[in-house]
Amino acid sequence: MEYRIEHDSMGEVKVPADKLWAAQTQRSCQNFEIGVGIETMPREIIHAFGILKKAAAQANNALRPEKMTEKKLLAIRAACDEVIDGTLADHFPLVVWQTGSGTQSNMNSNEVIANRGNQIAGEKLLHPNDDVNMSQSSNDTFPTAMHIAAVIALEDKLIPAAEELIATFVRLEEENEGIVKSGRTHLQDATPIKFSQEISGWRSSLERDVSLVKLSLTHLYELALGGTAVGTGLNAPKGFSERVAAEVAAITGKPFVTAENKFHALTSKDELVFAHGAVKALAADMMKIANDIRWLASGPRDGLGEIFIPENEPGSSIMPGKVNPTQCEAVTMVAVQVMGNDVAIGIGASQGNFELNVFMPLCAYNFLQSVRLLSEAIRSFNKNCAVGIVANKEKMHHNLHNSLMLVTALNPYIGYENAAKTAKKAYKDNISLKEACVELGFLTAERFDEVFHPEEMV
């Protein structure tokens, strides 16, 4: 491999000749060989760095044009566009497990943008610190990148995925209106419910989760950029905070604003904790929905068997013809991962010491993994399972009329205790509720038929 010599404040470093990074990125590669090639800084964070560095250059050009000249701006902007569109992805090798402030990733961005900008300009025009990092610090850029990445991931991935599944459940509600089945509580038979009502519970849960995610966006729109090292804004020109937030908003089309208190923005990660709590709520409901569906589809003969779901692949290497609810299983595994990530984010966010939180790469990594996995799992579940749900009307009808909890309809006529005796006798003697009620002398057969209508119990 061919190398070139780069230098930083600590001296010279050999860097692969075909890479755009420089000394500080190389030092991080050598000093943090933890999860190399697997747990690299999320691509969403790199994308966000491209956005914020472009925004910062444009704000600097407006506020201090003598330093951020048009020529420098054009070179930085062109390089940032390549970071944003992923063209330069191979030049961001750093792992999550680095300095807790994300300093090396900030410098990785500065070095790549400076070197690529110099290539575009055809001269040594840009310096990573003096130009690309102008008016910034790692301490305000990394939390800014976290918020930009989080907002984009939630608005452009997770919310649309959930809304697609909601639309599927709306359709299924309409198609299954009027079908009555046995309800279940505690995994035991309960009073009847319409299948459409059961589906409406799934749909409404997801709608509430989406509203909670949207609520969490309010404070994620606030950016730390402009706080620089400790929140005082040292070395940033007057008006930079507001200007750079407006530039980010213009680039992304999302309503980003500057954080009112930069001392809070640098050290507290409460906005991310709150937002991930909403993500976890969605994961919890997806766990519940996926479990309901695989229970209802269990069988096909020895389980509940009340619905049919798509058969996507063989389910066993030894049992011919077996098909498993694999989409449900994938969703529930993802839900567990999201719940685990929530613990890590919560602990990481609690570790802000004085003017900085130093668990930010951990928080960003886990947050973005949760959103990415959950978005993709919901889309897969919708496409490969939910859209193909079909009610097994015959099995629903059989289970409904075989349920002892239909005896609840008799409470107004024979009382709770007599109804309980009826149910217990029917179960013990393996006879129908009608037979048990008549044998116990609580109602005549004719009166029983007059008051007992399971389909009207919903």
At 184, list the tokens.
């279940």
305-337 burial code (b ≥16 CB/10 A, e <16):
bbbbbbeeeeeeeeeeeeeebbbbebbbebbeb
Peptide bond into 237 cis (omega under 30): no
At residue 199, the 3 state secondary structure works out as: helix
- Residue 368's CB is within 10 A of a number of other CB atoms, namely 23
Q: How far is CA 449 from CA 394, 410, 412, 420, in A?
A: 22, 11, 15, 18
At 213, list the tokens.
């995610």
Question: Is residue 221 within 8 Å of residue 233, measured between CB atoms?
Answer: no
Strands 222-223 and 257-258: parallel
Question: Is residue 16 within 8 Å of residue 90, measured between CB atoms?
Answer: no
Q: Which amino acid is at 415?
A: G
At residue 97, the 3 state secondary structure works out as: coil
**Phi, psi values for residue 229, rounded to 5°:** -70, -50
DSSP string covering 252-308, please? Answer: HTS--EE-S-HHHHHH--HHHHHHHHHHHHHHHHHHHHHHHHHHHT--SSSS---EE
Q: How far is CA 52 from CA 23, 113, 226, 289, in A?
A: 22, 12, 11, 39
- Residue 135's CB is within 10 A of a number of other CB atoms, namely 25
316 is catalytic: yes
**Catalytic-labelled residue, pool 7, 204, 211, 316:** 316
Measure the CA–CA gap between 289 and 384, rounded to whole angstroms: 15
Question: Is residue 27 within 8 Å of residue 10, measured between CB atoms?
Answer: yes
Measure the CA–CA gap between 409 and 434, rounded to whole angstroms: 12
Active site residues: 186, 316
